[in-house]
């Protein structure tokens, strides 16, 4: 497979190989530095949505591996507006070795992949966030040495991050539970596909509205912002609905004693997660953020070296 567009595209074996490669590259970096195995390779980073973690983690991943990265802001490209997606993909294919696109609509990243002659990585779309999911799986894997039979609970909006987390949990054998308010569910299609993956791995998917029921026996509690970028007009409505889903010390105390708390960031502190939890002993927010870089190194190496 030449692209990295969705967790659903990869088999459990392929995802595990990516995790193992990420661990190897992370250990190598911590032991003194990565070998320059992507020397001479250049990544184009196409942004419709800004991001601290996506930009810096991809840029540094390429630098660590001996390559380079070029940042292209929304104003520089105007994806699908100033210039067609097909033309942008074909132009960039003549300049660079790999393209990462962080977009609003999933069809935009699919369009880039359709027309590009080089590998394309989904840095985020409204459908899913595969780079985040791989970093999340790496973080869980480091703590528990497996995802098999780990209880992963997501508390909050059934958004693109929740979908990716459900998929990678189900594929790698973790039991996934989500608690969200009525009307803020993942799509029926996403849930159906998640159940298919869970059936194949022998894991479970549980859909609840009660966050307290959801965190019982949880090894992982995961949350995200209540209002994502592009949903600003819904902010007032969401602020009225989501407070019972705040990840606070009382909720964490109901989970497994060794539970880890995760958030893809940026966090709206003391909204979806309290300072006490985000900075507390169960938090892995910042190792999780660092793992974006290591997981993405694995994706880059897979696409530019191993998939040849």
Q: Which two tokens stand for residue 141?
A: 């894997």
In angstroms, rounded to a whole number, what is the distance separating the alpha carbons of residues 100 and 196? 28
Residue 103: name the closest of 50, 167, 161, 166 by CA.
Answer: 50
In angstroms, rounded to a whole number, what is the distance separating the alpha carbons of residues 82 and 207? 42
In angstroms, rounded to a whole number, what is the distance separating the alpha carbons of residues 177 and 5? 24
Residue 193: name the closest of 16, 9, 18 by CA.
Answer: 9
Residue 179: name the closest of 242, 132, 257 by CA.
Answer: 242
Residues with catalytic roles: 102, 129, 132, 224, 264, 292
Q: Which two tokens stand for residue 118?
A: 């080089």
Q: What angle do CA 272, 170, 292 make, to 5 degrees?
A: 55
Residue 272: name the closest of 149, 132, 162 by CA.
Answer: 162
Q: Which two tokens stand for residue 172?
A: 């790698």
Q: Which two tokens stand for residue 225?
A: 């912002």
Q: Cβ distance 44 to 98 under 8 Å?
A: yes
């Amino acid at each position: 497979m030449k692209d990295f567009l969705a967790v659903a595209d990869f088999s459990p074996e392929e995802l595990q190989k990516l995790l193992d490669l990420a661990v190897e590259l992370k250990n190598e970096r911590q032991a003194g530095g990565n070998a320059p195995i992507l020397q001479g390779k250049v990544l184009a980073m196409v942004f419709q949505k800004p991001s601290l973690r996506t930009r810096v983690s991809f840029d540094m991943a390429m630098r660590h591996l001996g390559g380079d990265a070029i940042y292209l802001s929304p104003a520089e490209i105007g994806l699908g507006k100033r210039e067609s997606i097909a033309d942008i993909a074909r132009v960039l294919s003549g300049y660079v070795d790999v393209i990462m696109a962080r977009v609003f609509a999933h069809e935009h990243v699919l369009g880039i992949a359709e027309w590009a002659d080089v590998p394309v990585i989904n840095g985020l779309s409204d459908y899913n966030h595969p780079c985040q999911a791989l970093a999340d799986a790496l973080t869980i894997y480091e703590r528990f040495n497996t995802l098999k039979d780990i209880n992963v609970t997501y508390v909050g909006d059934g958004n693109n991050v929740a979908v990716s987390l459900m998929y990678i949990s189900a594929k790698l054998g973790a039991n996934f539970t989500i608690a969200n308010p009525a009307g803020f569910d993942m799509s029926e299609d996403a849930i159906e596909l998640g159940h298919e993956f869970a059936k194949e791995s022998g894991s479970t998917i549980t859909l609840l509205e009660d966050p307290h029921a959801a965190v019982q026996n949880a090894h992982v509690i995961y949350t995200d912002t209540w209002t994502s970028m592009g949903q600003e007009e819904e902010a007032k409505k969401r602020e009225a609905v989501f407070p019972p889903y705040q990840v606070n010390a009382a909720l964490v105390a109901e989970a497994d004693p060794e539970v880890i708390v995760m958030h893809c960031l940026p966090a709206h502190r003391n909204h979806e997660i309290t300072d006490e939890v985000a900075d507390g002993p169960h938090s892995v927010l910042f190792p999780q953020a660092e793992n974006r870089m290591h997981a993405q190194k694995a994706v880059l190496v897979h696409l530019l070296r191993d998939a040849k």
